[in-house]
Structure formats: structure tokens, C-alpha cells
Structure 1
Amino acid sequence: MQVSFACTDHGLKAPRNGEHSKQNATSPNTTSQARARFRTVALIARSLGSFTHRYHHNLKESTAKLTGMKYRNLGKSGLRVSCLGLGTWVTFGGQISDEVAEQLMTIAYESGVNLFDTAEVYSGGKAEIIMGNIIKKKLHGCVLTVLTCSLALCSRAETERGLNRKHIIEGLKGSLQRMQLEYVDVVFANRPDSNTPMEEIVRAMTHVINQGMAMYWGTSRWSAMEIMEAYSVARQFNLIPPVCEQAEYHFFQREKVETQLPELYHKIGVGVVSWSPLACGIITGKYENGVPESSRASMKPYQWLKEKIMSEDGRKQQAKLKELTHIAEKLGCTLPQLAIAWCLRNEGVSSVLLGSSNASQLTENLGAIQVIPKMTAGITAEVDHILGNRPHSKRDYHH
């Protein structure tokens, strides 16, 4: 399962000087009521896109004009997210140092990014700890609209995984504790298991929202049929339905996002937060002449990636990328920027998660914002012609 959060009022945890005596005299019930009122006001204000810390300018106003960052609704909910987000998959707590992680989050935030994605299984929970520390240290009291963390329980023992009520609630509580947060904006549920009824999953997600632990919930790597079932269960029992799906989407992975999910977007309002826009680095072009020793594909845990690159299909993909490079040059951008902007041309994509291991890479990828206006129907048609894999759909879902 996955989760996300918005701006936490750190003042609830750290009272200002001179307020200790007043708080000590306050009953637990009064404190609980105050917290409940804050969460209610925060939820209403956030849905209107106006929740700001008293000492900070609105994130959109202070950065969008300078960076060109675009903001979209998360599905058809009222939550506004930056069209580019930062993921922490194998980097935070793993491939990069804490200092570099802090640098990346700072660059992203200062560029207008308000969507940060992590998961409890990333580096065994270290990614959540690192991200929480950075938020507390550098982004204290900031307008951080969405943070996504994941409770992907698939790596645990059979009795400790799955999307049953116990694992969803306990997993989310563990993530909140590691990140030093009281709630998250969005909690994403990973692939449902066959042992847990859909009604139990939807009821558990509704519970964590009603308890103030999350504001919205979404799905991750679910089929269109599973998402529709969750929506139907929510409507049948007056529960809260999902607002978005996390799905892989790039030049060579198009079917689900372009043919299945658009139907859900228009029918029930489920949008897409896509990941791996560069196909685990394949679209960067660095594998054109083989697998460099310093690349991810050269590492033992990524033998599958190396085999994929060296396969016949992998060589055909590299040939197509070489042709796509000419389009990127014509637009005055890099191949990765073209690939990311191509993902964002889809109206159902709320945000694209970037994965970076250094500042220069992240800065380059964020530059894809400037390429979006150049993704005309003509350019898109050229890309489709080179790729030769455009799925058949009932209608055109491009901008």
C-alpha cells in the first residue's frame, strides 16, 4: 500500500514559548477537539487550493512564475499537485548520501515541486526517515501539498503482507512515525491480494481518512477492473473511493495509461500519477553502446535490467531512441526532457514522478516543463511514427 500527505502544522507538536501553562491546563478532550478542527479546516482549505502557512507565501505563487511549474488536480479531486514530482525509490538511504538527498529535495521544492514520493520498503524504511528529517530541518512549516509514501507490503512474510485492515492501519502508522508526521495527503494501496475482500480494503482506507491519518487514497499498479470494483464498493456502502492510480508510463509502456485509465478518468475521475518516465534509465541514451560499468544495469541486483537492454527488443529500442534524439534536437531539448514532456501531454496524467541520483540530472529533468508547450500534434505524431506502438483507443486523450 502507498500513502501521501500535505502540510503538517508543526505548531501542534511544538508550542511557542509562553503557551506551556495554557496547554498544560487544557483537557485531553479539548486538545483532541482542537486537532480535529484543524484537520477539518485544513481539508477544506486544501480542497480549495488555498492552504498556506502563516509565515510563507503560497508555493504556487512564489515559484510558478519563476520556474514555469504547472499544477494539476489529482485526478478530479480538488487537490492541486505539481505536474512533476520527486520519487525516492532506490536512492534515498541507498544509492546516495543524506546530503545529496537533502540537496535534491531542496532543488525540487525551490523549482515548484510539491509532490514527493517514498515507501516503507525503500531502503528498509530509511527513505522515509531521511525524507522526514529533511522536511523537519529544511521545509519546516512549508506549504508541502503532497507527500507520497508507500506501504508496499509485498516483501514481507505471507502473514505480514496484504491489504487487510490490520496491515493498512499499522503500516500507515509506522510510516507516519518514521517521517515524524501526523498525517499524509494521499495513501496509495499497492496491488490487492486475493485473500482480502475489496470491501475490507475500501473500508480500511476510508477509516484512515476519517481518522485524519490521510486526506485521500489512491491505488498503485491496480488493473482497471480492480479500480472500478473499489469505486463500486465505495458507492454501494457510502465509503470513500480512490482518486488516482500510480502506473508505469513511458515511450515503451503505453497500453494501460492510454487505453484503460482514460476511461476511468472520464467516468469516475481517477487520474494517473506515473512513474519511470525514463524506463529505469533506458531512455537517457546511456545504454546506446552497451552497459557502462558505472550504470545501474551493471549492478548485480539489476541483472534483469541488463538482460533487457542487451536483448533483441532492447537493441530495437535503442535504435528508436536514436531517431527520437533528432526530434529532441529540433525542439532544443534533451532526450529525457522530451520523454518526460511526452508523458505530460496526456490529460489524465496528474503528475510524473522523477527519479534522480544527482543535482544535474534532476535539474535537467525539471527542464521538461519548458518542453510541454512544444508537444504539438505534429511532434506527437512524429514520435508515434518512430515508436510504432500507439495503442488503439476509442478517442484521442492528448492535449
Structure 2
Amino acid sequence: MSPSIAVPTPSSMSYRFLGNSGLLVSKLGLGSWMEYGETKSAELWYEIMKTAYEHGINFFDNADSYGMGLGEEYTGTAIKMGINDGTWKREDLVIATKLGMGTKGFHGGSGPNDQGLARKHIVEGLKASLKRMNLDYVDVLYCIRPDPYTPVEETVRAMNYVIERGWAFYWERATCRRGAWVSLPELAIAWCMSNENVSSVLIAARNLAQLKQNLKALSVVEKVTPEVKAKIESLVPFVPEVAKPDGTEKRRTKFL
């Protein structure tokens, strides 16, 4: 290994295969979610990504809708900064992004094909995401929401198309499971990490302090024993389920 590349410091981070694939991702993943108009800098995001990487996180999640595309831009700049600083190489990172919501859907100005899972938006949307991140490919491409207007076959064919061209290595549906059962972030994250059916738990951070608080979950996981789970779930019964449609998947109705 090149001595110029930093190796993540030893931590209690472990890795799981993503779904049924052969891709190993850290049990914690870091998401670049940010609100529209939120003030953040690429330099700050690099420090957050770097700190996460030094704690063993290799899975970094994005979406075209995060900050109306700004989240992807910051991630791309941070990746380049890390390569230039010798913090990581591109192959050290598992970069994911999600399509479906678009970059203009929440604040007007979107056209009838700027969102959804039609072939047109998947191909054009991924090209735009790669341009914002200044990357040749992403490791994982997700469908962020179901699209009731597009045949599943069309979406699958479009996903296979971008994979065949090397713009993405894997594709999957993003499924959100609800049910945070305590208010303490570390315990909630640790509970999710203790679930063997979960490949990687995506966390977010607006600053380093928040990231470091979330990373404390690494020392809590082993304490979430079956007995502890049973006690907590007896107080707040929770049965994981696929999130129900929330209406955002039907925003294209106005164009029909």
C-alpha cells in the first residue's frame, strides 16, 4: 500500500455485505442530507467526511434532492480534497446517490420529466449527479421513492443500462423503516446496527460535534443484547415495515 495514503485508525467499526451483493460497506454510513438554502461549506463537509473515514466509515450517501444538488457538489469536492491530501483513494470509498425527487421538485420550476423513475430521468439525472460530484461513476444508485406512473420494467431496464455503461456498479431501492424508539441518538443508532438484516445505518451530521456524538454508537452496539432489546421493545413495541407512500411520489400528477 502506498505510504502516502492514510489508513483509517483502528476502531470497532465492522462491515457487512450490502444486500445480496458482494460489496462490503461499513455498518454506519454517512449521508449528505441538507436543507434547501442551508449554509455549509465544502471544506466543512470534507472535515466531516474525513473524521467519519478515520473512524472506519467507507459508505457515503447522497441524493440529487439534497440541498437541490448542493449536497452532491460538496461531496464531490470533498472526495477530491481527500485524494489530493492523501486521505483516501477513490476505490477506498463507496459512494451512493439516489434519484427520483430531482433538484427542483420542492421549490417550483421543475418540468414534467425532472423527477420520477422513467428512463429519461434516470439516465439524465445520473449524468447530472456525476457532473455535480465530478465522478466517473457511483458505486450504488438508488431509487429514492416508488414511481406509480412508470412501469417497473422501464425502471429496471434503465438501471441496467447505466450499469452496463459503468456509470454505476449496483442499483437498489431505498427503503425507509421508521421507529426510533429512544431519544438518545447513540442508542437508536446502536439498535439499528445490531440488526443483522440491516447492511448499513446511514447517519447525518451538520457539524463535527454531531458526527462525533453519533459515532459513540460504536461503543454501545455490543451492549444491545437480546435482553436489552426485549426490555425496550416491551415498552415501545415496534414491528419494522416498509414506509407507506407519503404523497411525494405523486407530484407529477399536476402534469397529467
TM-score (norm 2): 0.82
SS of 2:140 mapped into structure 1? strand
Equivalent residues in 2 for 1:153-168, closer than 5 Å: 153=101, 155=105, 156-168=110-122
Offset, 1:92: 9.4
Is 1:117–1:148's contact at 8 Å kept on the other side of the alignment?
yes
Q: Which residue of 1 aligns with 2:80?
A: 136
Equivalent residues in 2 for 1:1-399, closer than 5 Å: 55=2, 62-63=7-8, 66-90=10-34, 94-140=38-84, 141-153=89-101, 155=105, 156-220=110-174, 246-252=175-181, 284=183, 335-387=184-236, 389-391=237-239
Q: Deviations over 1:33-80 (max 9, x none)?
A: xxxxxxxxxxxxxxxxxxxxx636998xx436x211110000121000
Is 2:100–2:117's contact at 8 Å kept on the other side of the alignment?
no
Is 1:93–1:126's contact at 8 Å kept on the other side of the alignment?
no
Cα separation, partners in 2 of 1:93 and 1:67, compared to 1, 3 Å: farther
The residue identity in structure 2 corresponding to 1:216 is Y
Cα separation, partners in 2 of 1:57 and 1:78, compared to 1, 3 Å: farther
Offset, 1:142: 4.4
Percent of aligned pairs with the same amino acid: 42
1:184 and 1:108 mapped to 2: Cα distance? 19
2:3 and 2:179 mapped to 1: Cα distance? 36
2:24 and 2:30 mapped to 1: Cα distance? 15
The residue identity in structure 2 corresponding to 1:384 is E
SS of 1:63 mapped into structure 2? coil
Higher normalized helix content (fraction of residues): 1
Q: Deviations over 1:184-215 (max 9, x none)?
A: 10100122322211111111101111111111
Is 1:128–1:175's contact at 8 Å kept on the other side of the alignment?
yes
Q: Deviations over 1:144-166 (max 9, x none)?
A: 33111222336233343221111
Cα separation, partners in 2 of 1:92 and 1:72, compared to 1, 3 Å: farther
Is 2:117–2:155's contact at 8 Å kept on the other side of the alignment?
yes
Q: CA RMSD in A?
A: 2.4
Is 1:63–1:69's contact at 8 Å kept on the other side of the alignment?
no
Q: Which residue of 1 aligns with 2:253?
A: none
Is 1:88–1:355's contact at 8 Å kept on the other side of the alignment?
yes
Q: Deviations over 1:90-122 (max 9, x none)?
A: 169724333321211111111111111111111
1:131 and 1:173 mapped to 2: Cα distance? 16
Cα separation, partners in 2 of 1:391 and 1:195, compared to 1, 3 Å: closer
Q: Which runs of 4+ in 1 moved over 6 A?
A: 56-59
Offset, 1:130: 1.1
Q: Which residue of 2 aligns with 1:291?
A: none
Cα separation, partners in 2 of 1:78 and 1:392, compared to 1, 3 Å: closer
1:105 and 1:122 mapped to 2: Cα distance? 16
2:111 and 2:4 mapped to 1: Cα distance? 46
Who wins on radius of gyration, i.e. which is larger?
1
Is 2:41–2:74's contact at 8 Å kept on the other side of the alignment?
no
Which consecutive residues of structure 2, in runs of 5 or more, have no partner in the other structure? 242-256
Is 2:8–2:54's contact at 8 Å kept on the other side of the alignment?
yes
1:210 and 1:118 mapped to 2: Cα distance? 22
TM-score (norm 1): 0.54
1:84 and 1:381 mapped to 2: Cα distance? 23
Q: Which residue of 1 aligns with 2:248?
A: none
Q: Which residue of 2 aligns with 1:20?
A: none
SS of 2:159 mapped into structure 1? helix
Q: Deviations over 1:213-255 (max 9, x none)?
A: 11100102xxxxxxxxxxxxxxxxxxxxxxxxx3234425xxx
Is 1:115–1:144's contact at 8 Å kept on the other side of the alignment?
no
| Number of aligned residues | 231
Cα separation, partners in 2 of 1:57 and 1:217, compared to 1, 3 Å: farther
